[in-house]
Structure 1
Amino acid sequence: MLAANDNLRATLLSGIKDGLVGQNRLKEPATWPKVYAELAKHPSNEVRSSARQIAVTFGNASALDQLRATLLNPKAPVPERARVLANLAQIHDKESLPAILALAKAGTMRGPAVVALGQYDDPRIAPLLIQFIVDEDKGVRSLALNTLAGRAESSRALLAAIDAGKFKKDVLSAPLASKIRGFNDAKMNAWLEKNWGTVNASSEAKTKAIANYKKFLGTNAILSADVKRGRELFRGSCGLCHQLFGTGGEIGPHLTGGYTDLEYLLQNIMDPNAVIGKDYQLVYITLKDGSLQAGIISAENESTLTLKVPGAPAPVVIAKDQIKTRVVSPNSLMPEGLLNGLEEPDVRSLFLYLRQTSEPK
């Protein structure tokens, strides 16, 4: 029974809502329609919002109509529209897809819309996201890449666009390449092997590669590199998982900077699988809708698990009843081949940035 006290009622509803995250189309309790009709008229916006999200989990038509209206309302606060968008995408609401495609093209909702498109399997999505990459739209480029790599068909479209010369292969970060390998598709793996680099190379090959990098990474050569370019490269690769100088992802360990030991850096970058902490094992989750997520599990209960995913703006909550396969990779979340595809000047710039002890101006 819902508490009469408004504060307690809001807390209870919020707890129920959070407990249902990642789940959808659950069987509606017999008493819920009557309860929801009362809560929908409650003066507290927090109560109404939580009740509406719970109702959507049960597939309530009235609640769905309200969410769709909020999504289309340009005067609604952006955070509220973003929450609504995530809610509708989570249940794969087909009626909302045209609006989401439109929102992805322009305006303050672009980022959330690009992320939400990952919940849909539709032929219009990949060409749109590929065009964002062609246009070098920095606002949504990384989000578009991550969304494309979330499904096998759109991953194929991404690799085909690179082959067609629409953009360079260096748009593929190490985490993205690792994610695409999670589909275990022979043709895509062969493409990555040819164009991006070898996974699980032999110790002899790694030793040879390290020796080669040392030839052009001497101290004098590094100090003449472009530190700002190094920062840009870091944020597009290492920074998806690691923080340095307070900026970056919250997935891998925080980095301290001041890395002057070239041998140490090269060994860790070239052979990240030498020692893998349990907390950083890569897990591939394939869902029943055909999408794939790759990351590390940060939380799990009886009904859901939460993944920290490189490049994603927030942790991804997945309902266990929607999981088709769950595979723990023998490899680290940090994939081999991080330096593959980088020209010598860019490698120098990246290593110069890693030598810094504070954020360069």
Structure 2
Amino acid sequence: SNGRIYRLQGVDAPITSLPDLHALPAAELAQLLTSPNGWLAQRALRRLAEQPDQAIIPQLRADLAADVPATRALAALWGLNAVGGLDESATLAALAHPTPAVRVWGIRLTGDRREAAPAVASRLVELARDNPPPDVAAQLACSARRFSSALGLALLEPLMQQDSLAADTLVPWLLWWGLVDHSVTGRDAVLQQFAAPNGWSTRLLRENQPRLMRRYAAEGTVAGYTACASLYAAAPAAERESLRKWLLQGLTERARVLGPVTNAGLFDQLAGAAARDSERPPPKPFAPLSGPLLDLITALHREEPAEPLRLRLALQAGLPAARDSLRQDLVSTTDTAALIRRLEILSEYPDVSVTPAVLALFRSTQSARVREAALRALQPLLDAPLARDLLALEPVLEPGLQSRVRQVLCGNPAAALVLLQAVDRGSIAAASIPTDQLRPLALFDDPELATLLRRHWGNIQPGTPEEKLADIRRFTNDLRAGVGDVGRGEALFVKHCGLCHKVRNVGGNLGPELTGTVKGDLNSLLANIVDPSAVVKKEYLTHVAQTRTGTIVSGLLVEEDAGSVTLVDARNQRSRLSRDQLEELSISATSLMPERLLEQLSPQELRDLFAWLRQ
């Protein structure tokens, strides 16, 4: 038999008939509110709400007395709310009940009405000041959002003075939830508490100070900027560096708009481009920095122009002096670490005026780390002339950096065309460019690029299932044909796999740890290598970022916030992209791990590698 489960009942339990609730008078329905049968109690409460009877109000009010058991008092409170009898006196009785659960429901039902009589409001504030237990404090924080800013902040202020609540799992976040909801409409009251000498006196106040700084900065209004300056001025000297970090975070998020709740791309293949684009909200306009906050950032940069955080703040504020000092540092700085930090900042704040200086660094005999950082700084500025300048340097570049240059060029349509035209002229051998570096070119939808791709590489799409199955059989036969050398196998693993994967503490952490996997079924191991995109765990999905200049950057999403995203590519190179630079961020069905890795190995090298993997 099949069907829905209608009832679960013990074997020896008697079958009881339920009363017809529609036929019962209100007084009997009120008695059923405390029935041990929860379903019956809920149905009785619903029936009272459908046909309220004012005659039972005195009976229910009597059950709110302090000496009445909590279960009965709760039922009476719900009943009064259902029949419209929860007036000021009944609410005060509930808020004064000795049982916390009754007080919690008194607070909640008051908040549901979004207003409170003066006596009730005073009682709520008393509850907040009276070191309430966590469940009462949590409900006060939740309901504070529903009241006016004046009453809501009057409830939140004393709660944030109580360090005993800071250790709770939920209450601190509920307090922030209420605070941020009133941070704009009640800005003056919020600043009166936080931008004050005692604004750092408790743990809850200290924890919410940087969040509030970020919130006001992200607001992108003159009033928000002024609030940030007030918070900073009132902060102790030891806390100001932390506030500067949160200020920068908020400023980078000013244009960010939260998108609507969607199906997370589940039906993107069935939806048209217009439907997908409609889910992406446009950037939010924001006011340029001005007033006390602009003065503050200017002074901070003037004090320590080389300090990275202050420099980023100055660049975010658009200070010409910051651009000038950054340009000068690129020429005068001799310390390698400091120079790399400057180039990293420049990659986050692209400036075409410094392209010659960065290109000169790339041409120079600087260390490989400096050249790599210079290349990342040039990536957002790529165009055809710059691509030609980079390709002209190929003969003097070491192989690793040469490959990295080609990878960067393949991420920009204009630069990729320059690269493929060089291949077409015979200046660069097509075989020297791995097909996995050519993947982004398919995303540009450029006919000229497509023609050159087909001419020199044919079809660079992933192999068919039949081709992959044939590869697995071929590799299996090669493995059975002889014995591998474990020592040589470890060196091969480090060279071809160790950048991303770790086996027995050898290798990197970009991809999954494989110590347990490599000793499993041989066919499964080969299948995962030959077809890496067949199964990809969610934490290793490839994200593809397209910038407003047309550049495409792909990799694992390792960091994300409202202001930026950070991707790590297959060569373990990090790219931090501001949300302002992004046109689109999507998930690719193709694994970051390239196909045809094993085809680079001879049969003996294949046996050596697997001998070490499976020892």
TM-score for the superposition, normalised by structure 2: 0.49
Residue 54 in 1 paired to residue 54 in 2? no
3-state DSSP of counterpart to 2:556: strand
Residue 305 in 1 paired to residue 565 in 2? yes
Change (3 A) 1:131 1:122: same
3-state DSSP of counterpart to 1:331: coil
Change (3 A) 1:32 1:181: same
Change (3 A) 1:136 1:278: same
- Distance, in Å, in 2 between the alignment partners of 1:78 and 1:330 is 39
Tell me if structure 2 keeps the 8 A contact 1:305–1:319. Answer: yes
- Distance, in Å, in 2 between the alignment partners of 1:116 and 1:22 is 22
Residue 278 in 1 paired to residue 509 in 2? no
Tell me if structure 2 keeps the 8 A contact 1:295–1:307. Answer: yes
Change (3 A) 1:49 1:325: closer
Tell me if structure 2 keeps the 8 A contact 1:156–1:188. Answer: yes
Structure with greater proportional helix content: 2
Q: Of the candidates 343, 346, 353, which is equivalent to residue 85 of structure 1?
A: 343
CA positional deviation for 1:286? 1.1
Tell me if structure 1 keeps the 8 A contact 2:503–2:514. Answer: yes
Residue 100 in 1 paired to residue 353 in 2? no
Tell me if structure 1 keeps the 8 A contact 2:540–2:556. Answer: yes
- Distance, in Å, in 1 between the alignment partners of 2:460 and 2:403 is 23
Matches within 5 A, 1:1-361: 1-3=231-233, 5-18=236-249, 27-42=288-303, 48-75=307-334, 77-105=335-363, 106-108=365-367, 109-135=370-396, 137-138=398-399, 140-169=401-430, 171-173=432-434, 175-185=436-446, 188=449, 195=457, 198-218=460-480, 220=482, 222-223=484-485, 227=489, 230-231=492-493, 233-234=495-496, 238-243=497-502, 250-256=509-515, 259=518, 262-314=522-574, 316-339=575-598, 342=600, 345=602, 348-349=604-605, 352-356=608-612
Structure with greater proportional strand content: 1
CA positional deviation for 1:269? 1.7
| Number of residue-to-residue matches in the alignment | 348
Tell me if structure 1 keeps the 8 A contact 2:485–2:612. Answer: no
- Distance, in Å, in 1 between the alignment partners of 2:361 and 2:254 is 25
Change (3 A) 1:35 1:191: same
Q: Percent identity?
A: 25
- Distance, in Å, in 2 between the alignment partners of 1:59 and 1:197 is 46
Change (3 A) 1:172 1:19: farther
Change (3 A) 1:214 1:32: same
Change (3 A) 1:137 1:119: same
Tell me if structure 2 keeps the 8 A contact 1:210–1:267. Answer: yes
Tell me if structure 2 keeps the 8 A contact 1:241–1:252. Answer: yes
Unaligned residue ranges in structure 2 (runs of 5+): 1-230, 256-285
Change (3 A) 1:65 1:311: same
Unaligned residue ranges in structure 1 (runs of 5+): none
- Distance, in Å, in 2 between the alignment partners of 1:67 and 1:187 is 38
Task: Deviation per CA, 1:102-133: give whole Å up to 9, x if none.
Answer: 10012132221122111112334323433454
CA positional deviation for 1:85? 1.8
Residue 245 of structure 2 aligns with an amino acid whose one-letter code is S
Q: Higher relative contact order at CA 8 Å, sep ≥6: structure 1 or structure 2?
A: 1
Tell me if structure 1 keeps the 8 A contact 2:383–2:415. Answer: no
CA positional deviation for 1:282? 2.1
3-state DSSP of counterpart to 1:7: helix
Task: Deviation per CA, 1:32-87: give whole Å up to 9, x if none.
Answer: 33213432354x788x4422210111210111111111111143x22222222222
